[in-house]
Amino acid sequence: MEPGNGTQISEFHLLGLSQALELQSLIFGLFLSMYLVTVFGNLLIILAVSSDSHLHTPMYFFLSNLSLVDICFTSTTIPKMLVNIQTQSNVITYAGCITQMYFFIVFAGLDNFILTVMAYDRFVAICHPLRYMVIMNPQLCGLLVLVSWITSVLNSLLESLMVLDLRFCSDLEIPHFFCEFNQLIQLACSDIFLNNMIMYFSAGLLCVGPLAGILYSYSKILSSICGIPSAQGKYKAFSTCASHLSVVSLFYGTLLGVYLSSAASQSSHSSAAASVMYTVVTPMLNPFIYSLRNKDIKKALERFLGR
Distant-in-sequence contacts of 126-129, Cβ < 8 A, 24+ apart: 126/221, 126/224, 126/225, 126/237, 126/240, 126/241, 127/220, 127/221, 127/224
Which pLDDT tens digit goes with each residue over 156-187?
999 999 898 888 877 788 888 999 888 888 88
In the chain, the DSSP E strands lie at: 4-5, 11-14, 91-93, 167-168, 173-174
Residue that wins the pLDDT comparison between 222 and 196: 222
- Mean pLDDT on 222-230: 87
- Mean pLDDT on 106-127: 94
pLDDT class of 6 with cuts at 50, 70, 90: very low
**Quick one: pLDDT at residue 240?**
78
DSSP letter assigned to residue 279: I
**What are the domain boundaries of the chain?**
10-306
Which residue from 254, 247, 232, 234 is spatially nearest to 291, judged by alpha carbons?
247
* CATH superfamily of domain region 10-306: Rhodopsin 7-helix transmembrane proteins (1.20.1070.10)
Full-model pTM: 0.90
* Average pLDDT of the chain, as a whole number: 86
